[in-house]
Amino acid sequence: MPPSKAPIQEGPADRRQLLLTIKNKYGALSRASKTIADFILAHYDEAIYLNIRQIAAHCQVSEATVTNFVKAIGLRSFQEFKICMARGAQEEPEENVIYGQILLNDPTDLLCKKVFHSNIDSLNNTLHILDPGLVEDTAQRIIKARRVDFYGQSASAIVARLVVNRLQRIGIRAMVFDDPHMQISSAALLEEGDIAIGVSNSGRSREVVAALASARESGAYTIAITRADGSPVAAAADRTLLIATNDLEFVEDASSPLAMIALLDALYVCVAAKTKKRTLKNLTKIRQTLHPEKS
């Protein structure tokens, strides 16, 4: 019997989820909606007290555009948007304000604190927006799939290799492809019941988009892992698992690989837990083969 369809993820439920959702969906918003998003992100403490007419006036857009923005981020009405803004507004930890962005003239001790805090914050935020129902559904599909192919470029491919190595050890036929021609070749040979997972931090990798589109056309179930909801990579997939990252001034974002690793690690553990008997058997067999003296 085919895996049940995963439940549709609901919109943000509190302030933290709201801000993360706006950032994740920003690239897919219309120009007018981006103006509203910029205002909300920059003036949240003010916007929380404004009505729909006042927000529209501040952003020089119509009230209908504000309503469209609210719906674009997964909420049903402006009233729900206001409730979401207010919920948890007083619960933000002080550290979110203390450390700020990384600057090249920061002293070493502050640089270290900022880097660690940024990575921890990215992991916590990713957990906060994680859809357990989608992780559950993806794990079930991986278990039943004939093959599971991962596509990524650069650092995303390295992250994919980590989880592929672990999946292979528990008996899942998984592979990772970072060469664009091999990605297309893999995708073309997939069938219904197979899974293709595209990993892209930015969500704009043309190679990953092409591979996912080809895999989907072949009948495979496709999943995107990215920070950018509504991006080309997300649009090319059936479903999207989102990560949350921090924008750091002057510094290449190092938190996204960690968030991806944590998300994929959770997916791997979910697969392992659902195939406990087979997993333990395979891991024991590998351990005995690699270290016969300890058997």
Predicted confidence at residue 27, as pLDDT, reads 81
Query: 11-92 in CATH: which number?
Result: 1.10.10.10
Predicted confidence at residue 254, as pLDDT, reads 65
Say if residues 59 and 42 touch (Cβ distance below 8 Å).
no
Predicted confidence at residue 4, as pLDDT, reads 46
Predicted confidence at residue 295, as pLDDT, reads 61
Q: How confident is the prediction along the chain (295 residues), in pLDDT tens digits per residue?
A: 444 444 444 567 788 888 888 888 888 889 999 999 999 988 888 888 999 999 999 999 999 999 999 999 989 999 999 988 888 655 544 444 334 566 667 788 888 888 888 888 889 889 988 999 999 999 999 999 999 999 999 999 999 999 999 999 999 999 999 999 999 999 999 999 999 999 999 899 999 999 999 999 999 999 999 998 889 999 999 999 999 886 544 445 667 889 999 999 999 999 999 999 999 999 999 989 988 877 6
List the chain domain ranges: 11-92, 129-289
3-state secondary structure string across the chain: CCCCCCCCCCCCCCHHHHHHHHHHHHHHCCHHHHHHHHHHHHCHHHHCCCCHHHHHHHHCCCHHHHHHHHHHCCCCCHHHHHHHHHCCCCCCCCHHHHCCCCCCCCCHHHHHHHHHHHHHHHHHHHHHHCCHHHHHHHHHHHHHCCCEEEEECCHHHHHHHHHHHHHHHCCCCEEEECCHHHHHHHHHCCCCCCEEEEECCCCCCHHHHHHHHHHHHCCCEEEEEECCCCCHHHHCCCEEEECCCCCCCCCCCCHHHHHHHHHHHHHHHHHHHHCHHHHHHHHHHHHHHHCHHHC
Predicted confidence at residue 159, as pLDDT, reads 95
**Identical fold, 11-92 and 129-289:** no
CATH 3.40.225.10 matches 129-289:
no
Distances (CA, A) of 108 to 54, 113, 255: 44, 9, 19
Closest CA to 161 of 151, 146, 147: 151
The predicted model scores a pTM of: 0.75
- Interatomic CA distance for residues 33 and 35, integer angstroms: 5
3-state secondary structure string across 170-198: CCCCEEEECCHHHHHHHHHCCCCCCEEEE
- Interatomic CA distance for residues 76 and 161, integer angstroms: 39
